[in-house]
Chains A and B, each alone.
Chain A
């Protein structure tokens, strides 16, 4: 009984901190209609800043927290709102998501440059002020956390329901133009909500630091937990969000208390937020087919069969020349770039043509790699097996997550990636007890690897273009533009979407197999959840609507770690630039390659 009480209190405390973070997320979303994927990252950077002030510079804790929560975080929120998000008002979900991912990756870059990896203990608040409740000890920090949660809940309630500003904020969600006719200023309100949202992310981050350790990724991914809580309130209702957050805290706490502590169960505990995310998503009603308004996008020109053949021939010619000319190290790197290029091709199909933003594509690469590694054979057929297994997993996932669409769908794929990461890829099922597996190479020399990757890239590229020109391609684009019209024309929208998702997962799985045999040793860390974010960024920056964009994206993706090991500081800056570029480019899905092509066409004209 005592233990139950203790774990309940502990769960409520953690849930209270989640509630603070989730409250900020809901506030910004409900007033600006932009879902901030970087919300957790803001909390992360602000928690580092707090460490810098309170622990490294020795400021009193309350001064440091006041500076961070009251000054730095709101200022940062204002900057993001002014220079990134305001320009995205009314943009499609994919665009705002990519901009958010850009902010997220940029912030991680900043944190890595300013605060290089090392242990950074943070003192809890009011450590001497604990109380005993029924035989269990509640620390001063816990009391502070609970008090903050209550204050935030009360404050947000009063702000939204009892003040003019709050009323105007709620009005702006529905019709910003209309609200501005009545004298409110939507930009100001949106800026205010971003300032408050960032402050809450910072507060949540600081409160959680003594509990979860200060590192770049854990706190950044707190956005999944916050999102799960917010989803309980359908991203709108603050009270339900708080209920969701407290519930999550309790479930996690009870899981620590009452589930066995074998490795499998520990992995299971870490996956609880993602699992609950799925439960909440499954409980949501099927999203209705949206009706109203013409949607269309201008892709780059799709080459016909002849142009595709000539392009593929040229590409393979260059690949052969490079294989003959460059040294083994460069050949290996180019092969890796091409393998990443195949992963981006899978996104050209899914995101570029199909309009579905996936934050879990790299996970399918992992599935393909595990399959090939487990077969351990040198037959090229294992590559196909990897693709097939990834496609089947993709279809199963699609059947679950495609109930929802747009933002919900993208975040569901992120949840799926976390689930696979914690439950499958990091468990002995995938890479054995040692955590890594040896894979025999299909071809030996790096030059041969380069040619193999080039041939597969060319084949997949030809295939993707053939799909685009053909019946399935037309159908995918029709479903993207108007799923309602498709349904009334007799197209089974659900199966088209599941099919595209599975096909795309299969391509990613094929790339995973190539990756595994190229690397010779693969481990769970090669496919961690976080890799999905730069993947999406590079795909969008390079151009997610064309095969040439996929080639460029793959090469950039290969270059990043090369730079990171050679010039660590520069790599950090590169990541920041990437974030900025994504935020800027996200309005044009055709990316850098279309700029290059346009420049070329202009030069010739």
Chain B
């Protein structure tokens, strides 16, 4: 059972404050992170996964401060993520993408087939990764992240590119992953997915945390409607 916390995290790009003093916690289960474009969701993922140093604030994993740790150290500590703008290894096959992740954990390459099967893209295993459809590439990023046996899983718009049936299957997969004790954090624009599968939802707007709570509470919140509808 794992918990990730951000405490008072602020990220500035020159004059612009992308994330402004955000404090939130993701516990085992599915946590939604939503907000309009430019709200700071992906930047917050970059801070948690270590790709970006915050201007202020801390990141804690199960109570231990990991703010100073590099991305690969955080990965070894159990943090994994996918990317909104795809980051698959385009020159390698789909299977090799997963094998790279398995090998970085000294796990057997033979586990790759099972992982690809689990996310539902086993049929692409031998294809070069920059040739598969966007939806499959997103699922590949998920399979690759799972290969590192993460305790905290950050998913950045994983369902874009999936059709309705695939999205539903993906929702069920989310439920399974969180039932195994992981903290899954979901940045997503598909509100059905967010409201249907998240235990708790945090809403960001212009870098600030607007509201946190169960889906029903968030749905009813005035400010959320305003932020989305303007």
Contacts and interface: CB of A to CB of B under 8 A. Distances in A.
Interface in B11-63: 46, 49-52
B92 A474 contact: yes
A295 B104 contact: no
A39 interface: no
B49 A478 contact: no
B91 A471 contact: no
Contacts of A471: 103
A489 B70 CA distance: 12
A474 B71 CA distance: 19
B7 to A, nearest CB: 21
B167 interface: no
Given A289-B71, A480-B91, A485-B87, A294 B129 contact: yes
A297 B91 contact: yes
Interface string A465-503: 000000100110110111011111111110000000000
A57 interface: no
Interface footprint category on B: 35 or more
Contacts of A487: 50-51, 70-72, 75
B104 A490 contact: yes
A307 interface: no
Contact of A297 (B90, B97, B101): B90
B91 A299 contact: yes
Contacts of A291: 46, 51, 83, 85, 87
Contact of A489 (B80, B91, B129): B80
B144 A477 contact: no
B136 to A, nearest CB: 12
Interface residues of A, number: 29
A490 B87 CA distance: 15
Nearest to B96: A474
Interface in B64-93: 70-72, 74-76, 79-81, 83, 85-92
B85 A486 contact: no
A481 B104 contact: no
B101 A489 contact: yes
A154 interface: no
A474 B90 CA distance: 12
B70 A298 contact: no
A488 B49 contact: yes
A474 B137 contact: no
Contacts of A295: 90-91, 130
Contacts of B81: 488
A293 interface: yes
A134 interface: no
A485 B83 contact: yes
A566 interface: no
Contact of B100 (A289, A292, A296, A478): A478
B128 interface: yes
Which residue, of B83, B91, B92, has the highest number of chain A Cβ atoms within 10 A? B91
Contacts of B128: 296, 298
A475 B83 CA distance: 19
Nearest to A475: B100
Contacts of A484: 51, 71, 83, 87
A481 B83 contact: no
A293 B97 CA distance: 16
B88 A493 contact: no
Interface in B115-137: 128-130, 137
Contact of B75 (A297, A474, A475, A488): A488
B61 to A, nearest CB: 14
Which residue, of B70, B87, B104, B128, has the highest number of chain A Cβ atoms within 10 A? B87
A484 B193 CA distance: 27
A491 B91 contact: no
A482 B100 contact: no
A81 to B, nearest CB: 30
B86 A294 contact: yes
Contacts of B50: 487-488
Contacts of A292: 83, 85, 87
Nearest to B103: A471
A68 B92 CA distance: 50
A481 B148 contact: no
B105 interface: yes
B204 to A, nearest CB: 19
Given A295-B130, A488-B80, A482 B103 contact: no
A482 B88 contact: yes
Contacts of B72: 486-493
A348 to B, nearest CB: 15
B75 A490 contact: yes
A410 B157 CA distance: 36
B54 to A, nearest CB: 14
B99 interface: yes
A59 B105 CA distance: 72
A150 B155 CA distance: 55
B100 to A, nearest CB: 5
B130 A474 contact: no
Contacts of A474: 92, 96, 99-100, 103
Contacts of B76: 490
Contacts of A298: 91, 128
Contacts of B79: 488
A489 B144 contact: yes
A490 B49 CA distance: 11
Nearest to A487: B71
Nearest to B79: A488
B191 to A, nearest CB: 25
Contacts of B71: 289, 484, 487-488
Given A294-B129, A294-B130, A296-B129, A485 B105 contact: no
B91 A482 contact: no
B51 A296 contact: no
Contacts of B89: 296, 477-478, 481-482, 485
B101 to A, nearest CB: 4
B51 A490 contact: no
Nearest to B101: A489
B70 A477 contact: no
A574 B113 CA distance: 52
A296 B130 contact: yes
Contacts of B85: 291-293
Contacts of A297: 90-91
B103 A475 contact: yes
A104 B104 CA distance: 42
B137 A486 contact: no
A474 B147 CA distance: 15
Given A487-B51, A489-B104, A491-B100, A294 B70 contact: no
Nearest to B86: A294
Contacts of B88: 294, 481-482, 485
B19 to A, nearest CB: 16
25 contacts: A291-B51, A292-B87, A294-B86, A294-B90, A294-B129, A295-B90, A295-B130, A296-B92, A298-B128, A474-B96, A475-B100, A475-B103, A477-B91, A477-B92, A478-B100, A481-B89, A481-B91, A484-B83, A485-B83, A485-B89, A486-B100, A488-B79, A489-B72, A489-B80, A491-B72
Given A294-B130, A296-B128, A488-B51, 11 more contacts: A291-B51, A294-B86, A294-B88, A294-B90, A296-B92, A478-B97, A485-B87, A487-B50, A488-B80, A489-B144, A490-B75
Top 5 nearest A-B pairs (CB, nearest first) are A296-B90, A296-B130, A490-B75, A487-B71, A485-B87
